[in-house]
Amino acid sequence: MVTATAHGKINIHLGVGPKREDGYHELATVFQSISASDTLSLVRGEGTVSEGSPVVGMEVSQSVPGEVPTDSSNLAWRAVDAVVEHYRGEHGSITLPQVTISLFKGIPVAGGMAGGSADAAAALVATDHWLAGEYGLDPLGKRGLHDLAAGLGADVPFVLMGGTALGRGRGDELIPMMSRGTYHWAVITSNEGLSTPSVFAKLDELREQRDDLEPHMWTERVSEALSSGNYGLLTACLRNDLQPAALSLRPELRTVLQVGFSQAGNSGIVSGSGPTCVFLCPDEEWARMIAAAVPAEVPGTSGMVVSGPAGGAAVVD
């Protein structure tokens, strides 16, 4: 019925403040969307439903390893349901065809690059496009989609919007940022993912024991580097407050960063909550070289090359 894509993200700067009462941490983060993307289609089934979820199943194919749930715990499934609920709330009972979600994953799974959030964002725009078109109803629009996205997860609003943005609050209060040029990244994924809540919890634990893990909530230098388009300046700004926690839970990531350092200098960080590590490179060829060199020396890792910024979630068909 409809196909949409959404891109993954890299946190160029991830400043993590104290834990809030709602369990989330206050963030000051600079997101860049990247060329790696997932594609999601809603496929019409045989039967119809007049209440509850129209989704009856999910099929996943992937270019990246990792386990993806194919039941109603998948964020994309929940995103379809959230849009359907919204339309039913606005327009009363609607009888819908049963739907299967078909998902192709090109973003690393459980890798700190918002792959699951991108699937949710693609599902939001796809379902909105389908329901508005098929039933002649008012589409949700930017504001409505943003609100549903924020209800699904802290990273979903950014991958919905794409580009480059400052994220405050849980990471879902977004201000678009000016960014000049294209940035090339070597991305080193690990065969085994890391759970985001456990990395945030580890940071809280480490901060109780150490006093050198203060939050980095200032992003002015990143903003200047991005508007200059100077790769070297941006390299000097890369920061991730979650990195010590990710390294503590997965010490072998130190080897990834060390091997990358010998090839790429000081341009590597853990991406988001990890375990993916990213290296900012002067050009695509350099990124290819690092994406091949690191996995050759560190077992259990793979390399890919991406560029950014890319766009937001969009219907393609």
* Binding annotation: 108-118
Nearer to ligand C5P, 29 or 223 (CB): 29
Query: Is 197 a residue that touches ligand C5P (CB under 6 A)?
Result: yes
**Is 283 part of the annotated catalytic residue set?**
no
Query: Is 77 a residue that touches ligand C5P (CB under 6 A)?
Result: no
Instruction: Spell out the SS3 assignment of 57-77.
Output: EEEEEECCCCCCCCCCCCHHH
Query: Is 200 a residue that touches ligand C5P (CB under 6 A)?
Result: yes
Q: Of 196, 219, 271, 301, which one interacts with ligand C5P (CB under 6 A)?
A: 196
Nearer to ligand C5P, 84 or 203 (CB): 203
As beta bridge partners, residue 187 has: 278, 304
Q: Which residues participate in the annotated binding site for ATP?
A: 108-118
Give the whole-angstrom CA distance, residue 273 versus residue 294. 20
Residue identified by tokens 């996995």 is 295
Q: What are phi and psi of 24, to 5 degrees?
A: -85, 160
Q: Of 14, 27, 80, 177, which one interacts with ligand C5P (CB under 6 A)?
A: 27
Query: Is 155 a residue that touches ligand C5P (CB under 6 A)?
Result: yes
Nearer to ligand C5P, 129 or 146 (CB): 146
Catalytic-labelled residue, pool 38, 119, 128, 155: 155
Cβ 9 to ligand C5P shortest distance, Å: 12
Q: Dig out the tokens for 144 from the structure.
A: 């409505």
Nearer to ligand C5P, 110 or 140 (CB): 110
Can you give the binding site for ligand C5P, defined by CB under 6 A? 24-25, 27, 153-155, 170-171, 196-197, 200
Catalytic site positions: 9, 155
